[in-house]
Chain A
């Protein structure tokens, strides 16, 4: 169970120590250690297949769904171990929300999409649910666009709206951390900038870890950037430093567009 919040871990949100991930006999991540600060945006960049999504999916244990996946090492969330069989994955995922690359609203109404999380976690009070739905949609900057059609299907929204609906859905269970797996890669530039603006606002209250292919996006939205390559964490530091003055040659080649 993850509950207590210790004083020294206040600034630090997630602490990864010697993390390795295997898919069957293939090792996808090699001995990753890094600390993710609270209420900032941390971007994970790197070429396709470098392991950044796999890394992201360790934080809410989504890799559990893949039978052949095996995770070694430790991840501390505010000082609490989240790997291992004794951890309550349901509670963990309540605290660590996720937004996916392709928006995946459920084939339900907009209202029911957002109410889904609170409902499965046992909330029955109709007034409270309505309050949460409105609040979450406002936080995701979608309320004004959908408030008159809350009971129409979420599938009928545009791509950008769908993605913001998914963000609202994730926020409805009041997570502390928001994982975003290339949240804007399937969106047009206008919707993308809207999502980016939203990330900037959300970081006031949430710790955000975002995987992105788009380096300008990483530079725009994040405070910290981690560069992955072939399963290794090559470089991790302040975004400005990583992009303008990288320590590693590989990072420099990647961020300047020489490969990847």
Chain B
């Protein structure tokens, strides 16, 4: 009893200060969190507002059914598909590069590399992810395209192939690093179980460890795809600005992000239909990446429970 009493009466002022300080820090943290959440809401709100404005002038059927995108020309047409096609084509090429290479790197680092090699290579890979994308863009335009042209003479100066490949290199560290994490956390007991059955190292890796990590690997690939879809500078610089509905990687094409850059760099006045197209395209892009990120998150959650 007397002990409890001393606790309560001891230095009341200091305790008051402590309580106030804690409340202060707590509300400060809440404020920071609130700012980021509110910003997101703000962005979505503006996007919705401008998109609503856009669709008062352009019909849904025009936007989703027309196959031409010429809002900057005299004869305006607002079919989103050429831009979507550009984004998908380049992202597809990027995934063709990033997926096999990234997974091989991940398997090598997680299963075969000496721990010391892993310690050195992984940070280097992550540096690759830190290179500004504009550098990648000019790398694609001024180095990769000319090199490819010497092999494929019909390749245009602006094309989908070079930026796609460079983008693949750009997202490779993401695929490799996240997939490597997924492989690395596969429980040791599973590997031992497989070895104890008389499996060879390759069999252990490809028949047990890889399938066990497939959830994390898929999630990382989708996340990388989402990054590719949203990537801007590389496609704006090296892919060209000709929205066209084709799947020929040798010809110029315009991605959604590249279109947004193109219009926002010009002197398009506020409130015009050209200005509002940015938001319409942005909204489509937003929905695409949002869906990809959510799918990735769901897959990750589902498979995490597997070893819980």
The answer to whether B203 and A120 touch across the interface, beta carbons within 8 angstroms, is yes
The answer to whether A93 and B197 touch across the interface, beta carbons within 8 angstroms, is yes
Summarize A's interface: helix, strand, loop or mixed. Answer: helix
The answer to whether A106 and B189 touch across the interface, beta carbons within 8 angstroms, is no
Q: B133 within 8 Å of A by Cβ?
A: no
Q: Mark B189-218, 1 if CB is under 8 A from A, else 0.
A: 111111111111001000110011000000
The answer to whether A62 and B197 touch across the interface, beta carbons within 8 angstroms, is no
Q: A97 within 8 Å of B by Cβ?
A: yes
Residues on the A chain within 8 Å of B197, using CB: 93-94, 97, 116-117, 120, 169-170, 173
Residues on the B chain within 8 Å of A166, using CB: 193
Q: A100-B189, A116-B207, A120-B207 are in contact. Are A106 and B198 (CB under 8 A)?
A: no
Q: B306 within 8 Å of A by Cβ?
A: yes
Q: A116-B207, A120-B203, A120-B207 are in contact. Are A104 and B187 (CB under 8 A)?
A: yes
Contact pick for A65, options B195, B200, B212, B306, CB 8 Å? B195
CA distance A62 to B191 in the complex (A): 11
Q: How far does the Cβ of A49 sit from chain B's closest Cβ, in whole Å?
A: 19
The answer to whether A97 and B196 touch across the interface, beta carbons within 8 angstroms, is yes
CA distance A106 to B192 in the complex (A): 11
The answer to whether A93 and B198 touch across the interface, beta carbons within 8 angstroms, is yes
Summarize B's interface: helix, strand, loop or mixed. Answer: helix
Residues on the A chain within 8 Å of B199, using CB: 90, 120
B-contacting residues, A164-182, CB 8 Å: 166, 169-170, 173
CA distance A62 to B197 in the complex (A): 11
Q: How far does the Cβ of B18 sit from chain A's closest Cβ, in whole Å?
A: 44
The answer to whether B194 and A90 touch across the interface, beta carbons within 8 angstroms, is no
Looking at A62, A90, A102, which has the most chain B CB atoms within 10 Å of its CB? Answer: A90
Residues on the A chain within 8 Å of B200, using CB: 90, 120
Q: A150 within 8 Å of B by Cβ?
A: no
B-contacting residues, A33-92, CB 8 Å: 60, 62, 65, 89-92
Chain A, interface residues (CB within 8 Å), range: 20 to 34
Residues on the B chain within 8 Å of A62, using CB: 192, 195-196
Residue on B nearest A117 in the bound complex, by CB: B197
Q: How far does the Cβ of B53 sit from chain A's closest Cβ, in whole Å?
A: 50
Residue on B nearest A119 in the bound complex, by CB: B207
The answer to whether A104 and B198 touch across the interface, beta carbons within 8 angstroms, is no
Q: A121 within 8 Å of B by Cβ?
A: yes
CA distance A20 to B204 in the complex (A): 28
Residues on the A chain within 8 Å of B211, using CB: 106-108
Residues on the A chain within 8 Å of B207, using CB: 116, 120
Q: A155 within 8 Å of B by Cβ?
A: yes
CA distance A239 to B190 in the complex (A): 33
Q: Mark B96-118, 1 if CB is under 8 A from A, else 0.
A: 00000000000000000000000
The answer to whether B196 and A94 touch across the interface, beta carbons within 8 angstroms, is no
Q: A208 within 8 Å of B by Cβ?
A: no
Residues on the A chain within 8 Å of B208, using CB: 106
Q: How far does the Cβ of B66 sit from chain A's closest Cβ, in whole Å?
A: 47
B-contacting residues, A101-160, CB 8 Å: 102, 104-108, 116-117, 120-121, 155
Residue on A nearest B213 in the bound complex, by CB: A107
The answer to whether A155 and B306 touch across the interface, beta carbons within 8 angstroms, is yes
CA distance A45 to B149 in the complex (A): 72
The answer to whether B195 and A104 touch across the interface, beta carbons within 8 angstroms, is no
Residue on A nearest B186 in the bound complex, by CB: A107
Q: A98 within 8 Å of B by Cβ?
A: yes
Q: How far does the Cβ of B151 sit from chain A's closest Cβ, in whole Å?
A: 42
Q: A120-B207, A155-B306 are in contact. Are A102 and B189 (CB under 8 A)?
A: yes
Residues on the A chain within 8 Å of B196, using CB: 60, 62, 93, 97-98, 100, 170
Residue on A nearest B199 in the bound complex, by CB: A120
Residues on the B chain within 8 Å of A90, using CB: 198-200
- B-side interface residues toward A, CB under 8 Å? 187, 189-200, 203, 207-208, 211-212, 306
Q: A104-B187, A120-B203, A155-B306 are in contact. List 9 more A-B contacts (CB 8 A).
A: A65-B195, A90-B200, A97-B197, A104-B189, A107-B190, A107-B212, A108-B211, A169-B193, A173-B198
Can you name 20 A-B pairs with beta carbons within 8 Å? Answer: A62-B195, A62-B196, A65-B191, A65-B192, A89-B198, A90-B200, A91-B198, A93-B197, A94-B197, A94-B198, A97-B196, A100-B189, A100-B193, A100-B196, A117-B197, A120-B200, A120-B203, A121-B198, A169-B197, A173-B197
